[in-house]
Every structure is written in structure tokens, then in C-alpha cells.
Amino acid sequence: MATSSAVLTPEPVLTRPETVVTGPAPRRSPSVLAAALAASWAVPLLLHAVALDVLLLPVLILTIAALIRVGGGLLDRLVVSAFLLCGAVMALGLLFSVWPWGLAPVPGAGLLLTTASVSGWLARRRPRIPLRLRGSDALVVATVAVVWHYVHHPVAGKSAADRLAYFVTSEDRMGHFSYFTGIRQVGGYAFLHQDAARTYMMTPSEAVYPQGSHFLLAWIDSLVTSSAQAGSALAMTNRYFLYVLAAYALFCGALVWAARWIGGPRLRGWRAAAVCATVAAVMMSGSMAELIERGFDSETIGLLFLALALALLVRPATGRAEFVLVAMAGLIAVTYVYNLYGALVGLALTAVLLVHRRRFTGRWVPVLAALAGAALVAALPSVFSVLTKLDVAKTSNLAGPMVIPDRPVFIGLGLLALVVATLPVNRRTGTGRMVLAVVLGAATVIGVFGAWQKATIGYYSYYFEKLTAAGLVIALLSLGLTGLMLPAAGSTAGTALRRRADLLLRSGLAAAAALALFGGVQWGVPSGWGHPSAWYDSPMLKWTRGEARSADIARPAAALTERDLRGATSPVIALYSNDAYLNLRSTCDCKAEEGADAEHRRPTTTRQARVPDPAAQAGLRGHDLRPRRPRAARSGPRCP
């Protein structure tokens, strides 16, 4: 059997195991299969006839949830089911991209339901969904609801045209939207339709950029619109913007769920509340909310899938079949969305095969064969891009705007995870060993990549901070194991109502304490410094108030257009800083300005904008153009 994955504590176990169906397994009746296959196509056709294809999403999730055997609670089952569905959609997207129906809702949903029906029939699985809820489910759902409220508030009630002011705050989001648009128009992955996709995106993006998140959103969009046709550009822009806002809310909720999953059924009561609220507080008040205004849409969705994949590998509380399905979905989903994070999933998968090796005794050949096949499918787009147009070394050192994870939280939680995982009680458990392996492995990957950047370009650049964001995710997930080290509350004497009230009170106080400690929430207590608390000054609250705007190039662009372009009669290259990305973007703005006044200017020779020295900067009308450390020039689809 597998190594135990739960920390042994003296507290009684109150959770009930999932009901075990006794007796012989159901026969593989051909009539049952025929009925399931008929329903697999009748339901999509019926919903399409009434333009309600979007209901196929809950139908697919519930169908998968009824056939898998993961977790004893409803929320756990639904989360894993949705994760498996996303991995399947991205993998089958290779087929959707080449068959004649493209992203049409009925054929794709019909194939997915058919696959689920046949798989359940072959496995002799009776449909069954656990209806049990846990008290901490409310914290997971509340995190999604609260984050959605804050990120959606600035655009609530506004027209699609008015929302464009929030949509175009970053260059990256415009790029991601072009990938989404291209996939919607060509009906599949852009790297499989490169000639057609170049109409919608900047080359070589159609061949080299990971397209999993864009394909997944395009497929969902086809269900929302009940059509393979994208429709008007303005409406499509609005829908895409809402999708990515929802993705960040789901990312925060997935992290809370993942930390609780790692804690297992013993993490309950006030300890579960403390862990869940701490993760939610860090995500709501920390710098990761800047992912929204920066337009790092693929990174957001990649981190979401990374959190789910790592949680289900660190504590693989599933049967062998479900473990293989989860591992395959994790490899494909994470690598297709953000291939930089695929190495971390591979590291965790290697660790779980070693730590839980006894679990696969007698089944190594089919397990390894399935995982090897999934690895080949997962690597296909990345290998394709490397063999065509991707320069890995140059791309790895790109410069650009960064979302820097909170260093004290990242380092502190990582060190805390190491302390907890190395305790004797946890060294004997599978979860403790997996946390130790994942934390040390991720630290090694981040350290090696950082050392390579320091050796090649002399500083930490764009993708280093992307890796540290994954490190923050791992550190937050590890809080599930840390929570088990908190003292368990003793039994409360009295009636059931009194016991429930006592549990609710302790859990509420624990959640409030976590939000105050890690989120800066003051709960109405006036600030002693005469200024708002850290909570009200957080990136997410700034976005909510409409104050967050990506300003990577705002000051130099203003200085360029208000001062240095006056009277210019030739092309201008703006060199305002030692930051190559800032100069690149300023020059692009310069070209745009010249294009607007082309009829009044005659391009002759290249003219270079004056580089202001520190003494002259004070006279630039408040524009801070202090030189920065040198950075590598940004390549790719950042500037025409």
C-alpha cells in the first residue's frame, strides 16, 4: 500500500468515508451503453437548438464527477472534474483543430460526452456524486465571490465600449486577445493554422507562444455564443475581458481549495479556517492582483492549473485510474497554458512515483505507458515551437514589465514549509515527503534559472519573476500541511447546537485573525498612522477604485509627445533609459505619433531623442526618467 498521506494526530476523525457499494460490479450491458451514447449526442443537439450550449459546461462537469471516485465531498469532486475537463479539451483541441467542424459546440461536446460514457461503461462505474459539504467549502466559494466582486466592480454596469478603457491598460492583454481571436477565427490552435493565424496575431506568435489558455477560452466562448462564429469584435472583446477577470477569481479560490486538499480530512474546524483565510488574504492583498492590470492572462490561468495539479500530486488521495487521469490532465493543461511551469509538474510527478511507489506495484507498465503518452502530447506544441522559430535562450532573458511576488511572504512561507515537512511526524507521511520534495525541487529550479540569468545578462529578468510566482503558489499550498501542526480544538460539551456555535465562533475568529495578519484588514479600527491600511492600498483595491493603470511607459511617452517630438521632421528613436523594454515601447509610441502626423512630416534620416541627464530630469514636468540598470532588448510580439 501507499505511504500514509495524513498526519497522525490524537483528534478523532469526524468525516465519514464515501459509501462503498457492495456486491458484484454492474454488467456491461449493451443497452446501457447505447442509451448513454444516444444521450451524449441528444443533449448537445437539444441545447444547441435552443441556443443554450453554455449549459453543456455543467453537464460535462457533472458527468465526469459522477464517474470518477475522488474525495468524499461535493466540492472536491466538482473541482477535480472541472480540472479533468479542461485538460481533455486542450488535448482534444489537436483534433478539433483539424477536423471540419472546428470549435462548433455540438461535435466537440458530443465527443467529450461519448468518451466519458464509453469510459464509464468499460470501467463498470455507476454514476454517483457525493452530496456531503464541508464547512470550509464556504471559505473556498466566498474567496471566489469576494475576489470577483472586487475585480468586476470597476466595469459593473458599464457598456462593452466603456469597458475598453480597462481592457487596453496593457500591451500583453492586447496580445493575448489577438491569440484568442485568431483561434476563434481559424477554429483551432494557431500553430496548426499558421498562414491563416498571421492575419490576427503578430508573427512568430502563431508558432511559438503557448496557446492552451486561449484555446480553452475560445472553446468556452463557442458554448457561450452557441456558435463557431466569433461575432462582432466589440462583443468578443467584452466576453474575453470577463473571462480573464473570472480566471483570477477562480485562481484565488483554487489556491484556497488546494491548500485545504493538501491538509486532508483532518484539516477542519478553526485550523481549516485559519489556513484558508491566510491563503485568501495573501492573494487578495498581495502583489499578485497586478496580474489583472498587467494583462498577464496566460500566467494567471497557468498558475491556476499549476495549483490544482500540484495539490492533487502532493496528496494523491485517488485510485490508480484517477491518479493517472489527474497526472495526464496536469501535464497537458499546465504545459499547454504556460510551458515554463511544466517542469514543476514533471518534478512533482517524478516525486510522487518515488514516494508512493508501492501503490503501483504490479501496474507499472500501464501507468508509465499512459504517463509517457501524456508527456508526448503535452510536449508537442513546445517541441514544435523550438524546432521552428523559438530561440529558447533569447526568450528566457526577455525584459519587460513584471509582477513581483511578495518576497517576505514567498521566502517566509517557503522556509516554514521546510520546517514543517522535516518534522519527524511528517517525514513518515507521504504528504510530508511530497511537500519537502516539491519545495526543494522548486527552489532548485528557481535558483538555477536565476543563476543562469545572472551569469548571462547580469540581473533577474521577466521570466525569473514568473518562476517566483510559481514558488509563491507552492509556498501557499504548503500551508495545508502547516495547518495540521496547529493544536486541535477539544470537544465542546453540551448540545449539538452549542457545539456548532462554538465551532463557528472559533473558525470565524481564526479567519478574521488571518485576514488581519496577512491581508492588512483592520476591521473598522482607525489607523494609528493617519493613512489607509495596507488592505486599502493593495493592488486589488486600487483596481476596484479605478486607480490601477499599467504605467510602464506612461512617463517617458508623455515626455516624448509633449516635448521631444515637437518640431520633429524625421523618424525618432527614443532612448530615455538603460531599460531596453522602456526604450522599445517609447520608440513604438513615437512611430504611432509620427503616423498620426505623417502628412505634415517628411521622413528623412533617423533622429535620436535626447537622453536627459540627471540634472535635467527635474525640469521634465514631473516625469521620472531616472536611468535603470541595463536590460536585454525585448523580442517577440511586443512591438510591431
Task: Count H helices and E strands in the chain, helices first.
Answer: 27, 2
- Give 70's strand partners: 318
**Grid cell for residue 26:** 454492474
Residue found by looking up cell 451524449 in the block: 40
3-state secondary structure of 573: strand
Spatial CA neighbour of 211 closest among 257, 247, 164, 177:
177
Judge residue 290's burial from the number of C-beta atoms within 10 Å of its C-beta, 0-12 exposed, 13-18 middle, 19 or more buried.
buried
pLDDT value at position 9? 37
CB of 126 closer than 8 Å to CB of 32:
no
What is the model's pLDDT at position 158? Answer: 87
Q: Which helix (H) or strand (E) holds 382?
A: helix 364-388
d(CA 446, CA 287): 19
Half-sphere exposure of 64 (CA within 13 A, CB side): 27
Look at residue 597 in the predicted model and tell me its pLDDT: 44
**pLDDT at residue 492, rounded to an integer:** 63
Count Cβ atoms within 10 A of the Cβ of residue 639 and give its class: 0-12 exposed, 13-18 middle, 19 or more buried: middle
pLDDT < 50 stretches in the chain? 1-23, 590-640
Q: Give dist(CA 63, CA 414) in Å, integer.
A: 38
Element of type H or E holding 608: strand 607-608
∠579-534-286 over CA atoms, to 5°? 55
CA distance linking residue 134 with residue 137, whole number of Å: 5
Q: What cell does 401 get?
A: 514589465
- The Cα angle at residue 557 between residues 553 and 560, in degrees rounded to 5: 150
Closest CA to 472 of 415, 414, 431, 417: 414
Cα–Cα distance, 301 to 250 (Å, whole number): 9
- The whole-number pLDDT of residue 555 equals 59
The pTM of this model reads 0.84
